[in-house]
Chains A and B, each alone.
Chain A
Amino acid sequence: MTENEGAPKDMNYVGAPVRAVGLGRFLTGNGRYIDDLKLPGMVYLHLLRTPYAHAKIRSINFAPALEYPGILGVWTGQDIASDIRPIRPVLDSTNYQGTEWPALAREKVRYVGEAVAAIVAESRYLAEDAAEMIMVDYTALPALSEVSASLNSNGVRLHEEIEKNIFFEYRFETANFHQAFQQAELRVALEFKHPRCAGSAIENRGVVAQYEPGRQFLTLWSSTQVPDLLRGVLGECLQFPVHRIRVIVPDVGGGFGVKMHVYPEELLAAFLAWKLGRPVKWIEDRRENLLASTHARDHETEAEVAARRDGTILGIRVRDLSDVGAYSAFPITCALETLTFANSVPGPYRVENLSFHGMAIGTNKCPVGAYRGVGFVLGPLVMEGLIDALARSLRMDPAEVRRRNLIGTVPHRYQAPTGIVYDGGEYRKAFEQALELAGYYEWRKRQTELRVEGRYLGIGLATFIEPTGMGQRVFRHRGMAEVPGFDSATVRMDPGGTVRAYVSTPSQGQGQETTFAQILADELGVKSEDVIISLGDTETCPFGTGTFASRSLVSGGSALALAAREMRKKLLCGAGQVLRIPPADLEIRQGKVWVKGKLDSVLSLEELTRAIHSGLYNTSSDNLIVSRSFSVGGSAVSYGTHVVVVEVDHETGLVLLRQYAVVEDCGTVINPAVVDGQIRGGIAQGLGTAIFEEVRYDSNGQLLTASLMDYLIPGSLEIPVIRIEHLTTRSPFTPTGGKGVGESGTIASPAAIACAISDALSPFDATFTRLPIHPTTIVEVLQGKCPSPAANRVDVEGK
């Protein structure tokens, strides 16, 4: 039996651009975010953060701060050492060295912005004033401000127990790799840089904690993406019984992976609320966000392609160093970037031979965590960059080289050399359709015409795969012991015939309230307005992994579909007993029960639930509640192609995006408005990576980009018109046929834009593979004042 059997035939809502549930609430300013929460007696937490990248703490004198008006107390790392255990995520791998991330630094600080003291006051203003009165005596240590410093540190260690500051190492090589490289007719090597990024949400992080002494009960409101995992960590680190902890996620203004980690502030707020007996609020400001919410990516990569002269790729070799900062983030650890990069290298290209060596190096910088696209962004950046260099070297059309290497139509599944199984689909068709949608060959003509006028158009192509909703098998394989991999849903009939569903994947604004309602309404045969979706409350929602890695539809949505199907069966069975008609002769549509083939409905769901709940009929369905869990086998893999046309002003280095086209396949599209919104938002962030965003530190480990005037996020005026078309190959791995779509925009766009800029400036023999591509870099490269990363071509002798 496949998972798709039993799906209703009369789908009404799935596939329609149903207007977002909650839209009115957000547009009229009635959303309820963390900072909107005000509890009686609430006090405010502020953290004193260190200005040192690496230093020993000799002493902390906070006595003067205690005298300041409105101060309830000050705590240091020593004070809480026995109360709050450090966050210590586990990875089952012999090549991993774990770190302990304390809620407040103890003997030493390891990055600028690490918290050294917690101040609680009657207002945030008073707390910030008092923080200035705390005197911390530091002994500075050499700052390991970049990977090379950490690797050649002369014995300076970030963590005493980790030699050489190497946190994680991963090697992967296919059996015939060396043979393939030897058989090649030529090899082209390039270096790449992906900047350190900050996955910036409109709403920063925040937490409110409340302890009820009577019930001995702790409630934490957090903007977290993973309420169940947070609850577990709270219990463990505070040594507080988990069954007496409730985590609630209110409306959240964007997560992007940064909010899937458990942070010191959550532990501190909970502990201090418990200790003080008053609700404690902490709202992150933008400076703290840029200083101390996880950063992402930060790779220096060398890669090489081995090929035949007809453009056929025989193998890829990648050597990667990623700078993961001072600590491993819970739950995915510092291995995340390296492992996902390794898995993304071949993308939708038939690359049979692969060699990957990656190292995650600790430095005195903010810890690196997840950010939309994770290491999957590196795959296209490297592959598409190498393919363009190969095409240029062979004087072939870059589209033709891609065509030659793309996997074509995959009937059921394709096993990549990385071990990842791709869903069936038409990988080459997506590519060809994208070329057509963008008008690729017309732009090539226009490019030639404009060059005569001294104008430089460039066309960038990037294909991608997006493994989404990773299941239990993936996380066990990666050794990520603290990520369950499944999600759950509970469907419950209300007495009035309406339906309520609780799903373990909370929303950060992606529209799950809408898409889940569409799935539930169709599966159950009810109107979507009779459905309420509840998310983000450990007290009511069943246990699950949470929302990240494009998993809420794949994992939570699937669990919901399965629970709804079971509920439908239950309702039909109950209706059969009430009506004395065999359930097989009944169906549910539009919130009513019908006898198949008859024109009039016989019973509304309201009447049916009332009848069942009345107990008069002695049905076997009196308990109208169903829970189901779901984990996709490996992952549901979306794929597609981005085509971007840029114009580069060669005198000023400014890049204008003139056109953007996407053709992609994320399986069944539940709501096209939501799906296209995800793609557009992802491209906006990828554009940031390509030309704007970079977290910069100086050689002393001081953060140089501590405000949004220096860390540049693209605004609406920078985003081009994006045209999107969909192929829809139902995923065989999910009950709805849907696949995740949260990250593809971010995965493909940096590569597409970088390739387009290099393409535009190819008359100058310039290649741009180090992101973000800065106007200064463009101008200086074109003036010959700064070297362009040269593609190093080697022709193999005798071939």
Chain B
Amino acid sequence: MKPAPFQYHDPRTVDEAVSLLDELGDDAKVLAGGQSLVPMMNFRLARPSHLVDINRVSSLDHVRKDNHSLVIGALARQRTIEFSELAKLHNPLLIEASHHIGHPAIRNRGTVCGSLAHADPAAEWPALALVMDATLVAQSRRGQRRIPATEFFTSYFSTCLEPRELLVEVHVPALPSGAGFSFLEISRRHGDFALVGAAVWLTADHSGICTNCGIALAGVGSCAVRAHAAEQRLQGERLSDSIFAEVANSIPEELDPTSDLHASAEYRRKVAGVIVRRALGVAAERIRKS
């Protein structure tokens, strides 16, 4: 379990990094936290000829508030979000989800943008990006482009990011004020990738009618999934256990999961409905208590 030979590059600025990517093209991989890439290299499943390590590009190490969004730079660690005061204030859903990402040692190194760029459909961040309608910012020598999360993920471990582009930051909108939220995940052990994960948020008016909501799922297909039909079913309805159950019942039809060693497709489909129902219940309870 030693990686195949590769060249190591150590840029200090975004310009240097994107110039390297421009020059090296398909042969290069970006190293940030390395929590997925390095094991894959050690298994020789990934064998990039060049590794562009962005850990010393200090301008990417930031989490800030910009208008209504949290802006998370490419070097911000998952652990930073877990303990971020800004996230606590503006989007506690991100903090709740962070607890499900691996273990503290993994979160200390792993980055938010790295997880997004890796695009594991069972990971937490792709589902969070979808449910919050996040915008991802890619930079190349030719400039920046802003990619909506809905367009970013294309398939298993695949995104629309070009080989010459660096994902420099992600803009995650704040939760609407007064929103209830919940992140639930079923995994075989603590810290494992989700068999099924659900990220939800919802808002309600004074009479308890749902005014807006987001429901996204992890682990149930080739990409994280936004459950649009379920969201539409919920909007305009009075929040109640029975409507949550009804919404949840429609979830399995929206999904096309696969089977693996850890769970069958049928299991994922069924349990996705179960945890959406439970997550909606938790979110509604939070609205009531707030």
Please give the residue numbers on chain A whose beta carbons come within 8 Å of chain B beta carbons, in ascending order.
124-125, 128-129, 132, 285-287, 651-654, 692, 696, 704-705, 707, 709-710, 712, 714-715, 717-718, 775-776, 779-780, 783, 785
User: Given A285-B1, A717-B190, A710 and B261 touching (CB < 8 A)?
Assistant: yes
**Which residue in B1, B189, B193 is a CB contact (below 8 Å) of A714?**
B189
**Binary CB contact string for chain B from 89 to 120 against chain A (1 if under 8 A, 0 otherwise):** 00000000000000100000000000000000
| Interface pair A125/B270, CB less than 8 Å apart | no
List residues of chain B with CB within 8 A of the CB of A785.
266
Neighbour of B4 across the interface among A129, A285, A287, A696, CB < 8 A: A129
Given contacts A652-B271, A783-B270, contact A712 B43 (CB under 8 A): no
Q: Are A125 and B2 in contact (CB under 8 A)?
A: yes
Asked if B271 and A704 sit within 8 Å, CB to CB, the answer is no
B74 to chain A, nearest CB (A): 25
Picked from B5, B189, B266, the residue with its CB within 8 Å of the CB of A129 is B5
A775 and B195 within 8 A (CB): yes
Total A-B residue contacts, Cβ distance less than 8 Å: 64
Q: What 6 new A-B contacts, CB under 8 Å, besides A714-B189, A715-B191, A779-B270?
A: A125-B2, A285-B1, A286-B1, A715-B103, A715-B190, A775-B267
Whether B168 sits at the interface, judged by CB under 8 Å, is no
Binary contact track B172-207/A, C-beta < 8 Å → 1, others 0 = 000000000000001011111101000000000000
Partner of A776 from the list B1, B4, B192, B264 (CB cut-off 8 Å) is B264
Closest to A717 in B: B190
Distance to closest chain A CB from B49 (angstroms): 13
Q: Is the CB of B188 within 8 A of A775?
A: yes
What residue of chain B has the Cβ atom nearest to residue A707's Cβ? B43
Q: What are the 10 tightest A-B residue pairs by CB atom distance, in nearest-first order?
A: A717-B190, A285-B1, A776-B267, A651-B274, A125-B2, A776-B264, A128-B2, A776-B263, A652-B271, A652-B186
CA distance in complex: A15, B190 (Å): 36
Q: Which residue of A lies closest to B274 (CB)?
A: A651
Q: How far is the CB of A378 from chain B (nearest CB, A)?
A: 24
A692-B188, A707-B43, A717-B189 as given contacts; A651 in contact with B271, CB under 8 Å: yes
B275 at the A interface (CB under 8 A): yes
**Which residues from B are CB-within-8-Å of A696?**
261
Question: How many whole Å from B135's CB to the nearest CB in chain A?
Answer: 31
Assuming the contacts A776-B263, A780-B266, asked whether A652 and B190 have C-beta atoms less than 8 A apart, the reply is: no
CB-nearest residue of chain A to B278: A651
B259 nearest CB neighbor, chain A only: A776
- Report how far A285 CA is from B1 CA in the complex, Å: 6
The listed residue (B1, B191, B193, B263) touching A287 by CB distance below 8 A is B1
Q: Indicate if the CB atoms of B261 and A779 lie closer than 8 Å.
A: no
Q: Which residues in chain B, 35-49, are within 8 Å of chain A measured between CB atoms?
A: 43-44
- Enumerate chain B residues within 8 angstroms of A710, measured Cβ to Cβ: 261-262
Give chain A residues whose Cβ lies under 8 Å from the Cβ of B189.
Answer: 692, 712, 714-715, 717-718
- How far, in Å, is B240 (CB) from chain A's closest CB? 18
Could you tell me if B271 and A779 are in contact, using CB atoms closer than 8 angstroms?
yes
A705/B261 in contact, CB under 8 A? yes
Q: Report whether A652 and B274 are in contact in the complex, using a CB–CB cutoff of 8 Å.
A: yes
Interface residues as binary, B1-34 with A (CB distance below 8 Å gives 1, 0 otherwise): 1111100000000000000000000000000000
- When distances are taken between beta carbons in the complex, the residues of chain B under 8 Å from A692 are 188-189
The reply to whether B271 and A287 contact each other, CB–CB distance below 8 Å, is no
Q: Which residue of B lies closest to A650 (CB)?
A: B274
Chain B residues with Cβ below 8 Å from A775 are: 186, 188, 195, 263, 267
Instruction: Name the CB-closest residue of A to B193.
Output: A709
B residues 236-267 touching A (CB-CB < 8 Å)? 261-264, 266-267
- Nearest residue (CB) in A for B187 is A654
Tell me if B267 and A653 are in contact (CB < 8 A).
yes
**B115 to A: closest C-beta gap in Å:** 16
A710 to B263, CA, bound (A): 11
For A707, what are the chain B residues with a Cβ–Cβ distance below 8 Å?
Answer: 43
A709 partner residues in chain B, CB cutoff 8 A: 192-193
5 example contacts (A-B, Cβ-Cβ < 8 A) are as follows A125-B2, A653-B267, A712-B189, A775-B195, A776-B262
Alpha-carbon separation in the docked complex, A667 to B261 (Å): 42
Contacts of B263 in A (CB 8 A): 775-776
The winner among B4, B189, B274, B275 for most chain A CB atoms within 10 A is: B189
For residue B4, which residue of chain A has the nearest CB? A129
Choice from B4, B43, B186, B191 contacting A654 with Cβ under 8 Å:
B186
Beta-carbon contact of A779 and B188 below 8 Å: no
Enumerate chain B residues within 8 angstroms of A129, measured Cβ to Cβ.
Answer: 4-5
B1 to chain A: closest residue by CB: A285
Determine the chain A residues whose CB is within 8 A of the CB of B191 once the complex forms: 715, 717
* CA distance in complex: A712, B188 (Å): 8
Closest-by-CB residue of A relative to B267 is A776
- A696 to B262 CA separation, bound complex (whole angstroms): 11
- Say how far A43's CB is from chain B's closest CB, in angstroms: 15
Please report the C-alpha to C-alpha distance between residue A715 and residue B190 in the assembled complex, in whole angstroms. Answer: 8
A715 proximity list for chain B (CB < 8 A): 103, 189-191
Please report the C-alpha to C-alpha distance between residue A652 and residue B275 in the assembled complex, in whole angstroms: 9
Please give, as numbers and ranges, the residues of chain B lying within 8 Å of A776 by CB-CB distance: 262-264, 266-267
Query: What's the minimum C-beta distance from A59 to chain B, rounded to whole angstroms?
Result: 24
B264, A780: Cβ atoms closer than 8 Å: yes
Closest partner residue, chain A, to B5 (CB atom) = A129
Q: How far is the CA of A155 from the CA of B128 in the complex (A)?
A: 56
Minimal Cβ-Cβ distance residue in A for B263: A776
Give chain B residues whose Cβ lies under 8 Å from the Cβ of A287.
1, 43
Residues of the A chain whose Cβ atoms lie less than 8 Å from the Cβ of B43:
287, 707
Which has the most chain A C-beta neighbours within 10 Å: B1, B191, B263, B267?
B267
Chain A hits for B274, CB < 8 A: 651-652
Contacts of B275 in A (CB 8 A): 652
Instruction: Specify the chain B residue showing the minimal Cβ separation from A654.
Output: B186
A717 to B191, CA, bound (A): 9
Task: Compute how far the CA of A128 lies from the CA of B41 in the bound complex, rounded to whole angstroms.
Answer: 13
Task: Kindly provide the distance from the CB of A122 to the nearest chain B CB, expressed in whole angstroms.
Answer: 13
CB distance from B193 to the nearest CB of A (A): 8
In the assembled complex, the Cα of A775 lies from the Cα of B186 at a distance in Å of 10
Q: Cα distance A715–B102 when bound, in Å?
A: 12
- Please indicate which of the listed interface residues A124, A652, A654 has the most CB atoms of chain B within 10 Å of its own CB: A652
* Chain A, Cβ-Cβ closest to B275: A652
A480 to B241, CA, bound (A): 64
Select the residue from A132, A652, A653, A776 with max chain B CB neighbours within 10 A: A776
- Nearest CB in chain B to that of A46: its residue: B2
CA distance A460 to B44 in the complex (A): 44
Contact B267 A779, beta carbon cutoff 8 Å: yes
- In angstroms, Cα B44 to Cα A651, docked, is 39
Chain B residues with CB under 8 A of A285: 1
Q: How far is the CA of A285 from the CA of B2 in the complex (A)?
A: 9
Question: What mask results when residues 47 to 78 of chain B are scored 1 for a CB within 8 Å of chain A, else 0?
Answer: 00000000000000000000000000000000
Q: Which residues B121-170 have CB closer than 8 A to chain A?
A: none
- Looking at the assembled complex, report how far the CB atom of B51 sits from the nearest CB atom of chain A, in whole angstroms: 15
B residues in contact with A712, CB < 8 Å: 188-189, 192, 262
Complex CA gap A785/B189 in Å reads 24
Provide the bound-state CA to CA distance between A654 and B43, in Å: 31
Write out the residue numbers on chain B whose beta carbons fall within 8 Å of the beta carbon of A125: 2-3, 5
Check A704–B261 contact: CB distance below 8 A. yes
Q: Do A124 and B266 contact each other (CB < 8 Å), given the known contacts A704-B261, A710-B261, A715-B190?
A: no
A455 CB, nearest partner CB in chain B, Å: 14
CB neighbours of B3 from chain A (8 A): 125
- In the assembled complex, which residues on chain A have CB atoms less than 8 Å from the CB atom of B267? 653, 775-776, 779-780
B20: shortest Cβ distance to chain A, in Å?
24
Among B1, B188, B190, B192, find the residue whose CB has the most chain A CB atoms closer than 10 A: B188
A128 vs B3: C-alpha distance when bound (angstroms): 9
B103 surroundings in chain A (CB, below 8 A):
715
A286 to B4, CA, bound (A): 17
Closest A residue to B195 using CB positions? A775
CA distance A117 to B125 in the complex (A): 43
A65 and B2 alpha carbons, distance in the complex (Å): 17
